[in-house]
Amino acid sequence: MTEEGSLTLFQQQDANRRRTIWLIVCFVVFFAWLGFGGDYVYFLATAHAPPAEQHRVWWLGFVMVGLGAVLAWYAYRTGPEKVLWATGAEEVIEPADDQQKRLVNVVEEMAIAAGVPRPRIWVVPDPDPNAFATGNDAAHAHVAVTRGLLDLCNRDELQAVIGHELGHVKNLDVRLMTTLAALVGAILLMRNGASRMFVGGRGGSGRGGRKSDLGPLVILLLIAWILSWILAPIITQLLAMAVSRKREYLADAMGAQFTRNPLALARALEKIEGAGAPTTRIKSGAAHMCIADPLGGHLAEREGMLADVLTSHPPMAKRIAILKGMGYAQLKREGGTIP
């Protein structure tokens, strides 16, 4: 387990609150760099131009700070709805079939076991088995499962998966992970807009045919500024992956604690891992929120620095082995038969 696994529940919650605040602050600071950095590059580029052409009012910085603050607030407030909308999830208000009735009963039971309000329940119309939780706190949480998970898992296994997701809810992992997912989407939109601006822009001569006199410092700063636009979505996604990878072990343990049946979660993860196709409804921006990596990939089964940076989930084989170890130890204590 990680060092975070030794923290108490309240310490976990406080840590996730702090991380969410710092994430939003860093997001706004990044937009400040995009704005004031662009202003500074423009200021240096026009320093030797006639006074009428010099860049004196750094309006871009103030605009970008305001835009970053608005986007961060919007992402935080509407992140859960945007994630659910992006996956095509359908809310279960009145169960439409026996599978949905079982799902509602299981979520209600696990909410009582976890000591949290019953979250809203959603089904993603995807045949690949997976599940995720989203929301800003336990009182406004959502749990979503794919149709494939309902088809694949028996009641005990479904209960274990829901327990895992409610572990994320109870720890306030959902707040941090949902905010990350929403900010990834916001930065992608901004990057796409900036790409069109760069492609549509015209280089060359200044007013009156005068060529801009760009020194080495201006060129370096301009390159760094442009790279910031290009790399921002990648960096944010890598951050989301690292955040998720460290939390899956703890959510597994909490799910096992809520159900008192770690072997059921191990069996569920084995079935999910054995499914062939990736989850097509859940895109890369929300992959870190799922119980299993919806994108697939061989690197997910490895450990080490590279895997920590480039994959959203720890190795499934290791998670299953830990859960089986917990289950066998429990059976031994209770005098049961090891399957």
> In the numeric block, which tokens belong to residue 93?
């208000």
Model confidence at 216, pLDDT cuts 50, 70, 90, reads confident
Q: Is the pLDDT of residue 196 over 60?
A: no
**What is the predicted pLDDT for the residue at 244?**
58
**Residue 211 neighbours by CB distance under 10 Å:** 8
To the nearest whole number, what is the mean pLDDT of the chain?
A: 79
Identify whether 128 is part of a domain: yes
Question: What does the pLDDT average to over 302-315?
Answer: 59
Report how many domains make up the chain.
1
Question: Which domain covers residue 125, as residue numbers?
Answer: 3-334
Identify whether 339 is part of a domain: no
Beta strand 120-124 pairing with 131-135: unpaired
The phi-psi region of residue 193 (left if phi > 0; otherwise alpha if psi is between -120 and 50; otherwise beta) is alpha
Highest mean pLDDT: which of 24-33, 122-131, 191-200, 246-255? 122-131
Least confident among 46-55, 93-102, 240-249, 254-263: 240-249
**What is the predicted pLDDT for the residue at 166?**
95
Model confidence at 140, pLDDT cuts 50, 70, 90, reads very high
pTM value is: 0.75
Catalytic residue list = 165
Identify whether 108 is part of a domain: yes
Identify whether 188 is part of a domain: yes
Question: What does the pLDDT average to over 109-122?
Answer: 95
